[in-house]
């Protein structure tokens, strides 16, 4: 055994980071935790409320529980829809993208452009784009006699938000997949030709397995971002019509800042946070474990 | 039973070739005969892989025709040619087991299941992969992965040729010998045309019936290992093959005698009418130059290399470097030594090409 020297001075070097994390994350989070176990009658007088906020939130028969359930369901449905569209579409676009020559640069820039636009600008663009009086898209659909109205029609609002997210974030999946595809050595494609593999076999036996790692990252990123989506629906639909596009983040904002219902809002944000964390953790663990188990 | 014919095959990667130097592969005529093992030998960038890819169809040649038997396949895509190719780095299908990997080329060609199973079992047996057949290919070592690649190349029984593109680069030296002799055994068992690209002369000479030596996009000599050793047709073959390579000395040749570095040297043949005004060299392998206590050309010893099996003396013959073999009975050498040159194995090269002499 080699005796390792113990030197506690190392802790000094961690201190600045610790201080920063404390200031930026831990203190704000603990403030939320603090709110989630207390109630107030105003005038900055707080009293202990135990786990009552959480009980209400997770009980679908209470008003807040019902509201949370609905918003959670909507958000999950939204995330799932976006993932189901964006991941296959992203892979498909990456497969079609040019591999060499002068077209590579322009093609990638054009594909990546939507990602460079700030969230609220995307929202504003689409808010105007889909207006049925002056918006190009909205007016065109209305002109064709389709019942399209983002502010009054739940299905229109929902599809618009999904299409907007697909437009805004499929490029991320495209770029990740494209990078993954470019990393496959030419020899694999040549070997596949020698082996007489069909185009489908090349995709399913070479490209998809080699893309697995980047796709795990893509799914994780897209899940987190869609599950926490706020700005774009807030700008385009404001959560409406009714509460058709009121996702968790928008609902949380209404409860916390609209109704200043700090207890409910704090409990909700903590549960919201834990759901995101759990889903990502479980997904990542399953994917990496599956990979490991398959090798044996 | 098909042989492969290269009919004026040449290739240029960049644009339309205008002159000879535009070709990365210079025009080449050759027939690869069925059942033989060939090696394509040459330094990196000499066009070996290009030639291989032309045969497999991964590259379409700029000029010339490629025939499999009587059939013109020049423009046929790879999938439609009966060809197998093994690449430098292992290519395996990650998600499949070893058995599925080996079966893949057969499955794609829709062979009946029992045939596939039998063939996979045979090939796995040959390559010692039987124990791993049920395992996922991804978790295996680089050696095993390359064996799978080799197996996929050999598994089809109907191929016109199996092409190997430096397949043993990633393999451990100890295992290299074993795999190479295994390949040779497989070659005998399967009676296939095999073409093996390498830049390692030992690999080429031990594996192949015939070796194609390439340099700068040109096939400089095609012959058996013995022909390459005893009668190099080009100075490049002389010094690329053999270690160390052939000695070349500038000379003036008159009939059956050469004047080298001021000394008179007997030749094994007569060269009565050599063209004037060209560069003339005599070439002789170190194996046929020996230091001797008897009569010979006086040379200065620069250093002696003891290779264990043999000893070589690096000497200077009136300023010209020369490598000679030290015979076993000569225990030590001083600063100068006489060297004897074997006339029969001395060749004359004009502008780097060997000139055939007449019997004296």
Shared domain for B221 and B249, answered yes or no, is no
The Cβ-side half-sphere exposure at A137, using a 13 Å CA radius, reads 15
Shortest CA distance from B136: residue in chain A? A295
Kindly give the pairing relationship between strand B297-306 and strand B336-341. antiparallel
pLDDT number for residue B1: 55
- Contact between chains at A188 and B91 (C-beta distance less than 8 A): yes
Residues B99 and B36 in one domain: yes
Is the CB of residue A48 less than 8 Å from the CB of residue A38? yes
Domain span holding position B32? 4-239
User: Which whole number is the average pLDDT over B82-94?
Assistant: 88
- A17 domain-assigned: no
Contact predicate B155/B119, CB 8 Å:
yes
In angstroms, the CA A123 to CA A234 distance is 8
Instruction: Please check the confidence at residue B286 and state whether its pLDDT lies above 80.
Output: yes
Is a pLDDT exceeding 80 seen at residue B19? no
Beta bridge partners of B303: B314
Among B182, B216, B239, where does a domain finish?
Answer: B239
pLDDT the model gives residue A288: 84
Average pLDDT, chain B: 86
Å between B174 CA and nearest CA of chain A: 26
Q: Are both B135 and B180 inside the same structural domain?
A: yes
Residue A286 belongs to some domain of the structure: yes
Q: Choose one of B239, B271, B290: the last residue of a domain.
A: B239
Q: Is residue B360 part of a domain?
A: no
Residue A138 within any structural domain of the chain: yes
3-state SS, residue B270: strand
Q: Per the structure, how many domains does chain B have?
A: 2
Q: B265: closest CA among B252, B276, B275? A: B252
Whether B336 is covered by a domain: the verdict is yes
* Partner B contacted by A210 (CB < 8 A): yes
Same domain, B135 and B281: no
Cross-chain Cβ contact A194/B85 below 8 Å: yes
Q: What is the pLDDT, as a whole number, of residue A275?
A: 92
Q: In chain B, which residue's Cα lies nearest the Cα of A290?
A: B95
Do B258 and B229 fall within a single domain? no
Copy the structure tokens of residue B63: 């000029």
A217 close to B (CB below 8 A): no
pLDDT at A51 (0 to 100): 83
| Facing A196 at nearest CB: one of B79, B91, B96 | B79
The answer to whether residues B348 and B269 belong to one domain is yes
**Inter-chain touch A196–B87, beta carbons under 8 Å:** no
Give the domain extent around A184. Answer: 53-295
In a domain, B42, yes or no: yes
| Per-residue pLDDT, A18 | 92
CB nearest to B87's CB, from A187, A206, A210: A187
Residue B255, phi-psi category: left (phi > 0), alpha (psi -120 to 50), beta (remainder): left
Region B116-138: mean pLDDT is 86
Q: Is residue A290 less than 8 Å (CB to CB) from chain B?
A: no
Chain B: residue whose CA lies nearest to A200: B108
Count A/B contacts: CB-CB distance under 8 Å. Answer: 57
> Looking at the structure, do residues B230 and B296 belong to the same domain, yes or no?
no
A213 interfacial to chain B (CB closer than 8 Å)? no
Q: Give the CATH number of the domain where residue A85 resides.
A: 1.10.3720.10
The alpha-carbon gap from B212 to the nearest alpha carbon of chain A, in Å, equals: 24
Query: Does B248 share its domain with B235?
Result: no
Within-domain flag for A13: no
Chain A contact for B151 (CB, 8 A cutoff): no
DSSP string, chain A: -PPPPP-TTHHHHHHHHHHHHIIIIIHHHHHHHHHHTEEE-STT-EEE-TTHHHHHHH-TTSHHHHHHHHHHHHHHHHHHHHHHHHHHHHHHHHHHS--SSTTHHHHHHHHHGGGGS-HHHHHHHHHHHT-TTT-HHHHHHHHTT----TTT-HHHHHHHHHHHHHHHHHHHHHHHHHHHHHTS-HHHHHHHHHTT--HHHIIIIIIHHHHHHHHHHHHHHHHHHHHT--HHHHHHTTT-STTTT--HHHHHHIIIIIS--HHHHHHHHHHHHHHHHHHHHHHHHHHHHHHHHHH-
The tally of CA atoms less than 13 A away on the side-chain side of residue A112 is 11
Q: What pLDDT does A295 receive?
A: 60
Q: Which of B191, B217, B239 is the last residue of a domain?
A: B239
CA distance B267 to B282: 9
Q: Per-residue pLDDT tens for B212-263?
A: 999 888 888 999 988 989 999 999 998 888 888 899 988 888 888 888 888 8
Structural domain total, chain A? 1
Question: Which tokens hold the place of B301?
Answer: 């010893």
A5 within domain boundaries: no
With contacts defined as CB-CB under 8 Å, which chain A residues touch B58? 190, 193
**CATH number for the domain harbouring residue B156:** 3.40.50.300
| B158 and A CB contact within 8 Å | no
Q: Tell me the C-alpha distance between A182 and A12, whole Å.
A: 44
User: Does the CB of B91 have a partner CB in chain A at under 8 Å?
Assistant: yes
Note whether A203 contacts B: Cβ–Cβ < 8 A.
no
B207 and B280: one domain? no
* B326 and B203 within one domain: no
Is residue A206 less than 8 Å (CB to CB) from chain B? yes
Contact between B108 and A201 using a beta-carbon 8 Å cutoff:
yes
pLDDT given for residue B126 in this prediction: 84
Contacts of B3 (CB under 8 A, 6+ apart): B31, B32, B33, B34, B69, B193
* pLDDT on residue A16: 92
Is A67 a domain residue? yes
The secondary structure of B58-107 as a DSSP string is SS--SEEEEEETTEE-TT--GGGS-EEEE-SS----TTSBHHHHHHHHHH
Are residue B106 and residue B148 in the same domain, yes or no? yes
pLDDT tens-digit readout, B50-71: 888 888 888 888 888 888 888 8
Q: Are B326 and B333 in contact (CB under 8 A)?
A: yes
CA angle, B212 as apex, B210 and B216 as ends, to 5°? 170
Tokens 């194996």 found at: B287
Which residue in chain A has the smallest CA separation from B77?
A: A193
In this prediction, what percent of chain B has a pLDDT beyond 90? 7
Q: What is the DSSP letter of B181?
A: H
Is the Cβ pair A193, B79 closer than 8 Å? yes
Q: Along the 296 residues of chain A, how does pLDDT read in single tens digits? A: 567 777 888 888 899 999 999 999 999 999 889 888 888 777 777 788 878 888 888 888 888 888 888 899 999 999 999 999 999 999 999 999 888 889 999 999 999 999 999 988 999 999 889 888 888 888 888 888 888 888 888 888 898 999 999 999 999 999 999 999 999 988 899 899 888 888 999 999 899 989 988 999 999 999 999 999 888 888 888 887 888 888 888 888 888 888 878 888 888 999 999 999 999 999 989 888 887 776 65
B111 touches chain A (CB under 8 A): no
- Residues of chain A with C-beta less than 8 angstroms from the C-beta of B84: 194
Distance of CA A23 to the CA centre of its chain: 26
Question: ∠ CA A146-A152-A157 to the nearest 5 degrees?
Answer: 75
For residue A207, list chain B residues with Cβ-Cβ distance below 8 A.
Answer: none
Judge: B94–A187 Cβ closer than 8 Å, yes or no.
no
Residue B290 has φ and ψ, to the nearest 5°, of: -130, 145
Considering only CB atoms, which chain B residues are within 8 Å of A189? none
Return the ∠ at Cα B211 (arms to B206 and B212), rounded to 5°: 150
On chain B, the residues whose CB falls within 8 A of the CB of A197 are: 104, 108
In a domain, residue B232? The reply is yes
On whether both B47 and B169 belong to a single domain, the answer is: yes
């Amino acid at each position: 055994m080699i005796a390792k020297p113990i030197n506690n001075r190392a802790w000094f070097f961690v201190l600045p980071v610790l201080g920063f994390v404390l200031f930026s994350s831990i203190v704000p989070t603990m403030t939320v935790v603090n709110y989630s176990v207390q109630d107030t009658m105003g005038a900055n007088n707080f009293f202990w409320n135990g786990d009552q906020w959480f009980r209400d939130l997770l009980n679908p028969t209470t008003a807040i529980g019902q509201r949370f359930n609905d918003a959670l369901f909507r958000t999950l449905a939204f995330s799932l829809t976006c993932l189901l569209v964006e991941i296959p579409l992203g892979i498909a676009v990456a497969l079609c993208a040019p591999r060499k020559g002068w077209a590579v640069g322009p093609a990638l820039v054009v594909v990546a452009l939507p990602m460079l636009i700030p969230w609220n600008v995307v929202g504003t663009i689409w808010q105007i784009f889909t207006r049925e009086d002056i918006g190009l898209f909205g007016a065109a659909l209305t002109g064709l006699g389709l019942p399209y109205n983002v502010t009054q029609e739940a299905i229109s609002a929902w599809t618009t938000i999904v299409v907007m997210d697909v437009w805004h974030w499929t490029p991320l999946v495209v770029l990740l997949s494209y990078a993954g595809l470019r990393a496959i050595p030419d020899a694999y494609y040549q070997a596949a030709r020698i082996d007489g593999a069909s185009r489908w076999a090349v995709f399913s036996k070479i490209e998809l397995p080699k893309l697995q790692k980047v796709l795990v990252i893509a799914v994780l990123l897209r899940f987190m971002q869609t599950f926490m989506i706020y700005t774009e629906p807030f700008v385009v639909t404001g959560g409406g019509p009714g509460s058709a596009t009121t996702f968790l983040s928008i609902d949380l904002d209404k409860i916390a800042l609209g109704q200043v219902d700090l207890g409910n809002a704090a409990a909700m944000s903590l549960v919201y946070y834990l759901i995101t964390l759990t889903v990502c953790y479980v997904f990542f663990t399953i994917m990496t474990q599956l990979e490991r188990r398959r090798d044996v | 039973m098909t042989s492969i014919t290269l009919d004026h095959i040449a290739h240029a990667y960049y644009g339309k070739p205008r002159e000879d130097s535009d070709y990365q592969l210079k025009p080449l005529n050759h027939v690869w005969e069925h059942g033989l093992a060939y090696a394509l030998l040459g330094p990196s960038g000499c066009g070996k892989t290009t030639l291989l890819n032309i045969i497999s169809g991964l590259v379409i040649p700029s000029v010339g025709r490629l025939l499999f038997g009587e059939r013109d396949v020049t423009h046929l895509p790879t999938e439609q040619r009966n060809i197998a190719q093994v690449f430098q780095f292992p290519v395996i299908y990650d998600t499949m087991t070893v058995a599925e990997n080996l079966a893949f080329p057969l499955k794609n060609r829709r062979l009946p299941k029992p045939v596939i199973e039998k063939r996979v079992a045979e090939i796995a047996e040959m390559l010692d992969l039987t124990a791993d057949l049920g395992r996922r290919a991804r978790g295996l070592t680089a050696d095993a992965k390359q064996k799978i690649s080799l197996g996929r190349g050999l598994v089809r029984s109907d191929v016109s040729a199996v092409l190997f593109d430096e397949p043993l680069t990633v393999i451990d030296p100890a295992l290299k010998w074993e795999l190479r002799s295994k390949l040779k055994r497989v070659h005998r068992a399967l009676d296939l045309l095999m073409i093996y690209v390498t830049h390692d002369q030992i690999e080429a000479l031990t594996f192949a019936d015939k070796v194609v030596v390439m340099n700068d996009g040109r096939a400089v000599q095609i012959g058996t290992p013995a022909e390459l050793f005893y009668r190099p047709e080009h100075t490049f073959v002389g010094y690329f093959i053999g270690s160390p390579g052939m000695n070349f000395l500038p000379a003036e040749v008159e009939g059956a005698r050469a004047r080298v570095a001021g000394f008179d040297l007997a030749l094994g043949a007569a060269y009565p009418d050599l063209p004037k005004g060209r560069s003339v060299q005599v070439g002789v392998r170190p194996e046929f130059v020996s230091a001797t206590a008897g009569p010979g050309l006086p040379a200065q010893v620069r250093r002696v290399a003891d290779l264990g099996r043999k000893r070589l003396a690096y000497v200077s013959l009136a300023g010209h470097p020369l490598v000679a073999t030290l015979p076993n009975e000569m225990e030590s050498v001083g600063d100068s030594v006489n060297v004897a040159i074997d006339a029969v194995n001395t060749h004359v090269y004009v502008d780097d090409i060997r000139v055939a002499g007449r019997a004296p």
